[in-house]
Amino acid sequence: MSNKYFRFKQFTVRQERCAMKVGTDGVLLGAWVAIPAAVTHILDIGTGTGLIALMAAQRAPVATVDAVEIEEDAASQASDNIAESAWNDRVRVHTVAIQKFAPEYRYGVILSNPPYFSRSLKNESLKKSIARHNDSLPLRDLAVSVSELLEKEGIFGAILPYEEAAVFIAEAAGHGLYLHRRCDVRGRRGKPVKRVLMEFRRHPAARLVSEQMHLENEDGTRSIAYSDLTAEFYL
């Protein structure tokens, strides 16, 4: 049984009402993507528990963070988590599909740990289906939404499984979002790549920055790279 809450250094995430719990993907994205200290508006698409929005608020001391979540129970849980945080005056949850979200401004940073498993069988739980399958947010719709909402010099960060990442990189380019930086993530050194962290901008990259990371050592402890990346968050 999953824990009802996950405690980080500066905030706690409760998750008993969320279909998808706190996981490595969200922590990786929230810690890895570049967030300029002076950014004023950040968007988290598909916030779930509110984890990434809270990490962004911790990293960006002057930013307003908008967290969009279509599933009502998850949005309610995220709102509660944010209300109990030190940044409850800067983070807002919007219970709406990103395709219908219409803010009055654009974002310097957009983050998304989007739904995936588009080719797998549906879960019986509708809430978990919404969270795990991209029917509610096809990769094309994600690219279109980010293209519409990202500032001219903005940064978009996402994480996807290896196979979906290749599809999304091509889709994003078709909507004027170009890969500038990527990190291939393995569970352990020498194992297949499981996830790809990606950072996009509106102009083509002069040179793609390509990184590698493995999460665990052979004895099951966190790798130095993973520990260093998440040092401001994990207890």
Confirm whether 234 is domain-assigned: no
Q: Which residue has the higher pLDDT, 130 or 21?
A: 21
Domain extent, residue 114, equals: 5-229
Dihedral (C-alpha) 71, 72, 76, 78: value to the nearest 10 degrees?
10
The answer to the question of residue 126 being in a domain is yes
Please state the rounded mean pLDDT for residues 129-157: 83
Q: pLDDT band at 3, cuts 50/70/90?
A: confident
pLDDT of 120:
45
The strand pairing partners of 178, in sequence order, are 201
41 falls within a domain: yes
Distance CA 117, CA 122 (A): 9
Q: Establish if 205 belongs to a structural domain.
A: yes
Residue 89 belongs to a domain: yes
Q: With respect to residue 124, please indicate whether it lies within any of the assigned structural domains.
A: yes
Q: How many domains is the chain built from?
A: 1
Residue 235 lies in a domain: no
CATH number of the domain to which 203 belongs: 3.40.50.150
Q: What is the pLDDT of residue 131?
A: 45
Higher model confidence: residue 144 or residue 127? 144
User: Could you tell me if 227 and 221 are in contact, meaning their C-beta atoms sit under 8 angstroms apart?
Assistant: no
Tens digits of residue pLDDT in 65-113: 999 999 999 999 999 999 999 999 999 999 999 999 999 999 999 999 9
